Amino acid sequence: MVKKILKIIGILLLLLVVTLFAAPFLFKDQIKAKISEAINANVDAKVTFAEADLSLFKNFPNANVTLEKLVIINKAPFEGDTLVSLGEIDLKMSIKELFKDKKEAIAIDGIYSKDGLINIIFNKNGIGNFDIALKDQKAKEEGPSSPLLLKIKDYKIENFQFRYFDESSKIKMVIDSLNHEGTGDFAAQKLDLDTKTTAKISLNLDKVNYMNKVALTLDAVLGIDLAQSKYTFKENKALINQLPLEFDGFIQIMPNGQQYDLKFKTPTSSFKNFLGIIPEAYAASLDNVKTTGDFTIVGFAKGLYSETTVPKFNIAIASNNASFQYPNLPKSVDKIVIDTKIINETGILNDTYVNLDQLSFQIDQDVFNAKANIRNVTQNALVDAALKGTINLANLSKAYPIKLDKPLSGILKADVTTKFDMQSVEKSDYEKIKNAGNMSLSGFKYADENGKTMNISTAVVQFNPSQVNLKQLNATTGKSDISVSGILENFYGFIFRNQELKGNFNMISKQIAVDDFMTTGEPAKTEAATAKKADAMKIPAFLNCTLTAKATTVLYDNLTLRDVSGKLFVRDQKVTLENVKTSIFGGTIGVNGAVSTKGKTPVFNMDLKLNQVDIAQSFTQLDMLKKIAPIAGIINGKLNSSIKLNGNLDATEFTPDLKTLTGDLLGQLLSSTVNSNNSTLLKAIGSNIKFIDVNKINLNDIKAAITFKDGKVNVKPFDIKYKDIKATVGGTHGFDQSMNYTLKFDVPAKYLGSEANALLAKLTPADATKLENLPINASLVGSFTNPKITTDVKTAVTKLTTQLVNQQKDRLVKKGTSAITDYINKNKKPGDTTKTATPSTPATKEEVKAKAADLLNGLFKKKKKAVDTTKVN
């Protein structure tokens, strides 16, 4: 019996699990349809979501509906702007809601969402992009009831970002890393909502930043009156960074804005409140910090926030003769006085003013004072400020827990006053900017986390009405030293308006090591990694300056440059080099060109003039030249060259990416010699082409033109001389050392070996001089280390043999003709009327034929004795 009961229970549980598993598939389309209907019936915007899923396990015994990637895109006048983007949103409801008729509304009990963005924008006309509700309210009221009914009891959002931007007032606020949750019965018209909130807040007014990722924590019970749209602060505890604040009052949503009536203050007057303003990352724990004196923040905000008004407010920040000392630190900060007020008495935002009437403190005997007044904040801010005092930087880390790997040192002195308005700064109207005073830094020493040090022995800055004069800056870092002076022409525009920092500087250095100014990133995340990877270098976008530089020595990569001089123009993330000159490789190099880091990949273009540089050094130490012309160790001597090239740079090393190199080279060899022992190619040429000695080739004053692109080098044909042999060389090779060259020789026959010389010996000197030089071709393929050489020397010798045979025949024919003519003249009988043959009147063709047999008999047979036919018997 028990087994049967257990079996029935098991079957029921199995059916329940199957039902819970299958239900999402049964009701998924219904839920998705109702959500789409609810959205489309209420908003005038483009709404999409990737998927709607139903789960009966996630919040059992409740059902859970999940929407993925919900996005709301505005229509005009904010066409294309994202209003809401949610990575995921979960809706909790009772399971019985799934069985309601299509016409019945589904009640939602809870809402949870994460990875969201809410983007609120007010345009210049005061219109907000969040107003997406359909305007035909009457039609909506008369139509069918809403398919969704909110009966929320709890909600939660995680990792949200809230953006707010008002184009008219230029107020920009970003609430990042927002986590918020609340519990309460929204079905009631009045409720107490228990909330918890954490976030980081940034606030900009125009181009001035007032808050940058300030940590906020708020645990509060809000009394909510839904009928009156009124939210009252009851029990609350807020932390801004570590500064505690308490709030009293309410915020009420009105037809024309929001009504504020809030008061806030620090719950105690301890000076620890001031330390709490500073982010914990920079202030450390406040436990056991000894303080004297007080610090308070008291304020209120009362009035209507609307398109034209803001609440009147008054925030007073005060401290009098306070001090603090952190445990385990030897020094204290004393005589602290703070007197600051932020006030608006009219409800007009531009009438807000800030009075920093006094800020002063003392460490040991060093006293520092500051004061400032800012008015007309939104239209044309008026600033009046002064700094005066001395700070021993070494004492900062002894009195305050600054997180530095190595402590600072140096003496900072300031006595500066300034008075200006922002419009004058924007327009560079220097007559309305009143600056005066000096600021100096001496004995400054700093080391970063990578051990790189910066030492500034002296820095003096003078403030003038129209500019900031860097009178002197003497610094060393690593192996480098620099001495800089110059003018900053737009200092306030750079500080307050993010404008370009303009300047004109002169720099002198005994030695600059480029590596000293390269930044490094985090160590590679492998156990075997021993080096740090350099960050991609970027030329600052804000720089617009000229630098005239002279350096006795510059160390760059493996190169040592001497007597470097020239001008550098920095603008738009680009450095332009003008008339830069340096002594290197036993000669000089002149450079004109530019480097730009504006794009994703840094690029460069350069014109180089090489004068009297040593071939062995330059073609060994410069990979670029080594790839273009691999002649290092083969040709000794000097080089004059003009090189134009462009391509990409390695983003971290700032060296040319040879795969992208394009350009051309014109070069002239000077006082050069050849060493074939260091070249497999020259050895192979010497073995295959016997009529030249490669070590004795004359390369002096040889000029060559080269172009290169996509890793291929094209050498335009050029001539060289070896004794009385002329050679024309041309072809291509790759940066991978592959090659395809042709050599065309114009060779006198005497250099073509013993067979040719044996034939030449049969010629008279006069005939030998009539022979033409023979063309011989050679082909060089393969690679520089494994060359394959073919020539047509044998063909040339065969042609020479044919030429010599034909020449011998011609000589014999001419010799035979002359002999016959002489024979005819010699054997002419008295009374013979035949003309005497002379060189100018040779024998006729018939005469030659008639006498030819006798001539040949006389030349090639023995002559018989003549019979005297006149003798009588």
Helix (H), strand (E), coil (C) string for 244-294: EEEEEEEEEEECCEEEEEEEEECCCCECHHHHHHCCHHHHCCCCCCEEECE
Element (H, E) at 795: helix 793-826
Closest by alpha carbon to 623, among 654, 645, 655?
655
- Strand duo 738-747 + 148-166: pairing: unpaired
497-518 as b/e, with b when 16 or more CB fall inside 10 Å? eebbbbbebebebebbbeebee
Residue 597 CB neighbours (<10 A) = 21
Q: What SS3 class is residue 548? A: strand
Can the peptide bond before residue 77 be classed as cis, meaning omega within 30 degrees of 0? yes
| Cα–Cα dist 162/177, whole Å | 9
Q: How many CB atoms lie within 10 A of CB 766?
A: 7
CA distances to 350, 633, 715 from 636, in Å = 76, 7, 20
| Torsion sign (Cα): 865, 870, 872, 873 | positive
Do the beta carbons of residue 70 and residue 49 sit within 8 Å?
A: yes
Q: Which two tokens stand for residue 646?
A: 């462009």
Q: Do 528 and 570 meet the contact criterion of CB atoms below 8 Å apart?
A: no
pTM of the prediction? Answer: 0.63
CA distances from 621 to 593, 615, 627, 823 (A): 21, 10, 11, 80
Residue 337 is encoded by which pair of tokens? Answer: 């006085």
CA dist 156 and 158 (Å) reads 7
- Cross-strand pairs, 787: 782
Q: 536-574 pLDDT, tens per residue?
A: 677 888 889 999 999 999 988 788 999 999 999 999 999
Task: Give the closest residue to 499 by CA, choosing from 436, 435, 427, 569.
Answer: 427
Neighbour-count burial of 277, counting CB atoms closer than 10 A to its CB (0-12 exposed, 13-18 middle, 19+ buried): middle
What is the spatial distance between Cα 42 and Cα 147, in angstroms, rounded to a whole number? 11
From 603, 601, 611, select the one nearest 575 (Cα to Cα): 603
Contact call for residues 461 and 438 (beta carbons, < 8 A)? yes
Q: Say how far apart CA 743 and CA 533 lie, in whole Å.
A: 47
Spatial neighbors of 214 by CB under 8 A, at least 6 apart, are 200, 201, 202, 240, 241, 279
Strands (DSSP E) found in 422-500: 434-447, 453-463, 468-477, 480-488
Cα separation, 234 vs 181, whole angstroms = 17
Angle at 787 between CA 783 and CA 790, to 5 degrees: 130
What the block records as the tokens of 606 is: 């350069």
**Burial tier of 131 (Cβ tally within 10 Å: 0-12, 13-18, 19+):** exposed
Residues pairing with 318 in the sheet:
296, 339
Q: Which residue has the tokens 């203050």?
A: 265
* Phi, psi (rounded to 5 degrees) for 858: -70, -30
* Residues 6 or more apart in contact with residue 427 via CB below 8 angstroms: none
Nearest CA to 249 out of 311, 201, 195, 185 is that of 311
Residue pair 323/332 in contact (Cβ under 8 Å)? The answer is yes
Q: Are 586 and 620 in contact (CB under 8 A)?
A: no
Rounded Cα–Cα distance for residues 300 and 263 (Å): 4
Quote the tokens at residue 808.
């011998």
**Which amino acid does the sequence have at 454?**
M
Give the CA count within 13 Å in the CB-facing half-sphere of 414: 15
List Cβ neighbours of 674 (8 Å cut-off, separation of 6 or more).
634, 635, 636, 682, 694, 695, 696, 697, 699
Structure tokens at 706: 């080269």
Residue type at position 714? N
Is the bond into 61 cis (omega within 30 degrees of 0)? Answer: yes
**Residues 370 and 343: beta-carbon distance below 8 Å:** no
Res 16: pLDDT: 39
Write the CB contacts of 741 (distance below 8 Å, at least 6 apart in sequence): 715, 729, 730, 731, 732, 733, 779, 780, 781
pLDDT value at position 3? Answer: 45
Which regions in the chain score pLDDT beneath 70? 1-42, 52, 54-62, 95-106, 135-151, 207-208, 279-284, 449, 496-497, 518-536, 632, 753-756, 759-760, 762-772, 807-873
Distance of alpha carbon 124 from alpha carbon 170, whole angstroms: 10
3-state helix/strand/coil string of 816-832 = HHHHHHHHHHHCCCCCC
